[in-house]
Amino acid sequence: MSNFIPRRRFLQGAAAGGVLAGLGDLSFLSRLPAVSAADSALDTKLVRLADDIEPTVRLLEETPRDRLLEEVAHRVKNGLNYRELLAALLLAGVRNVQPRPSVGFKFHAVLVVNSAHLASLSSPDEHRWLPIFWSLDYFKSSQAATARESGWRMAPVDESKVPPAHKARQAFIDAMDKWDEGAADAAVAGLARTAGAAEVFELMWRYGARDFRSIGHKAIFVANSWRTLQCVGWQHAEPVLRSLAYALLNHEGDKGKPSDNDFAADRPWRKNDELAKTLRPEWREGEYKPDATAQMLEALRGGSESDAPAKAVELLNGGASPQSVWNAILAAAGELPMRKAGIVALHAVTSTNALRYAYDAAGDDDTRRMMLLQNASFVPLFRKALGDAPQNRIDGIEPQPPKEGADSPKALEEIFADVSQDRMAATRKALAFLQANANPKPLIDAARLTVFLKGNDSHDYKYSSALLEDWAHLKSPWRERYLAAGMFLLTGSQEPDNKLVQRTRAALGA
């Protein structure tokens, strides 16, 4: 279509106060060195961080919260680069924030690092520092909470128990299967030192998806760890993997170990492990079938955590492509915030993002089968966790053009104002905008800019990063509806500015 708003014109308009007028001036970020896409993306030549990352980590740990942004701004202006700061932020989080009793809460300081990084990657060069500065401040809040509550810090590994290279993999599997925290800690340290990244994470994908405890945070932590380590370098893997193994063994509230019991949270994995074996060998070579997507969506809406993966296998064995099934899984997850916007529905989207990523990243065919089937189980479990809720349907959204037309630059201003006041109206107008404009980037850029300026919670970054990545994994017309439904949990333009922007501006002497 010829009536889309070019990205360059959209950004120029936003800067001039046209689209999303009044959101604020980010010109102060020009005082920092520009972060190019190459600086923040994975270096294919395996460029690594300096060996002396410890001083930067300690800077983050020891600088008081009310001075950290100012101190980091000073260091950046004097040569501290994006990649080193991102690595230090991740390592400071895993060393100072305990991922238990639940993989969430204050541990979002670690979980949000990759989401902030994704936001940076997808932003214009001049905006790329802002999500990282937000995450620095959030880390200090979580560090203080951990210090108050338990004083926990990651201790050195027991070197006498670290297995040799040829035994590390099996030792890790045995420890994880037995839910043995001490043995897993030593074994994963051995793996980090002797195995390759792909080999280690082929195991982690599976353990991150094996149970529904922590409402998807385990899978989220696995995906985020892999993705951030791909940027900052595998030499930083050991403390991250130790934190990850500890988190994946969380079974708070259970009376006994899962390995010795039949807890509800573990049953989908065992059933799906058997179900996966019934998929035809050429299951990934099917035909895209819109009717299969419709059937799968109904199974996710009304079926159980056993019914939905069984339907997925039926459709795949009947010749439907995995894309036909993934359309429905993503759409069903994206629909839940329309039913009851809140923390449970939000994590249906973010955990689906993690499991879909694991499906793409895994090298083993059986792992891919399990990621798809576990996701098909998780969505009904999230639906049940919502309880009674209006039966709003993602395929029932009726488009409503903004007042000045869906192809007007002011359409976005109206949509994001409605996000703060009437989310269903914003959803209908967003769908009209997306149907009228071939390029969704103006809406995506506006959503991300609004999070930068208005977001005050880790979930603002986690949700927006998942949503704005996963729309591309659906086919039309589902992708437009999925993105439009995101208005139920995105940040609106009428929310108050967060204080971080003001602090960052002051830190740079603007």
Q: Are residues 184 and 311 in the same domain?
A: no
Does residue 107 contact residue 99 with C-beta atoms inside 8 Å? yes
Q: CA–CA separation, 417 vs 403, rounded Å? A: 13
Instruction: Count structural domains, the chain.
Output: 2
Give the pLDDT band (50/70/90) at residue 8. Answer: very low
Q: What is the mean pLDDT of residues 372-399?
A: 95
Confirm whether 302 is domain-assigned: yes
Confirm whether 414 is domain-assigned: no
Q: Are residues 85 and 191 in the same domain?
A: yes
Q: What is the 3-state secondary structure (H, E, C) of 82-110?
A: HHHHHHHHHHHHHHHCCCCCCCCHHHHHH
Domain that holds residue 346: 266-386
Q: Are residues 330 and 378 in the same domain?
A: yes
399 pLDDT higher than 90: yes
Confirm whether 216 is domain-assigned: yes
Q: Are residues 242 and 152 in the same domain?
A: yes
Q: What is the mean pLDDT of residues 489-504?
A: 88
Q: CA–CA separation, 36 vs 24, rounded Å? A: 23
Q: Are residues 175 and 44 in the same domain?
A: yes
149 pLDDT higher than 80: yes
pLDDT of 46: 26
Give 79's DSSP letter.
T
Confirm whether 89 is domain-assigned: yes
Which of these, 200, 212, 224, lies nearest to 250 by C-alpha position?
212
3-class DSSP state for residue 498? coil
Percent of the chain past pLDDT 70, that is, above it, reads 88
Q: Are residues 227 and 338 in the same domain?
A: no
Picking from 386, 409, 437, the residue at the C-terminal end of a domain is 386
Give 215's DSSP letter.
G
Instruction: Say if residue 281 is preceded by a cis peptide, omega within 30 of 0.
Output: no
Which of these, 215, 93, 367, 180, lies nearest to 188 by C-alpha position?
180
Confirm whether 420 is domain-assigned: no
pTM of the model: 0.90
151: CB partners within 8 A, 6+ apart: none
pLDDT tens digits, 30-44: 666 666 655 555 333
Q: CA–CA separation, 193 vs 187, rounded Å? A: 10
Q: Are residues 238 and 270 in the same domain?
A: no
pLDDT tens digits, 230-262: 999 999 999 999 999 999 999 988 999 999 999
Picking from 252, 275, 301, the residue at the C-terminal end of a domain is 252
User: Alpha carbon 410 to chain centroid distance?
Assistant: 30
Confirm whether 246 is domain-assigned: yes
Q: Are residues 169 and 50 in the same domain?
A: yes
420 pLDDT higher than 80: yes
Does residue 181 contact residue 258 with C-beta atoms inside 8 Å? no
The answer to whether the Cα torsion of 72, 74, 76, 78 is positive or negative is negative
169 pLDDT higher than 70: yes
pLDDT tens digits, 343-384: 999 999 999 999 999 999 999 999 999 999 999 999 999 999
Confirm whether 450 is domain-assigned: no
Picking from 327, 351, 386, the residue at the C-terminal end of a domain is 386
Q: Are residues 61 and 210 in the same domain?
A: yes
pLDDT tens digits, 97-134: 998 766 556 688 898 898 988 888 887 776 778 899 99
Q: What is the mean pLDDT of residues 437-463?
A: 92
Residue 293, both tokens: 């997507």
Q: Are residues 122 and 240 in the same domain?
A: yes
Q: CA–CA separation, 122 vs 104, rounded Å? A: 25
Q: Are residues 186 and 57 in the same domain?
A: yes
Q: Are residues 231 and 273 in the same domain?
A: no
Percent of the chain past pLDDT 90, that is, above it, reads 74
Confirm whether 197 is domain-assigned: yes
Residue 255's CB is within 10 A of a number of other CB atoms, namely 7
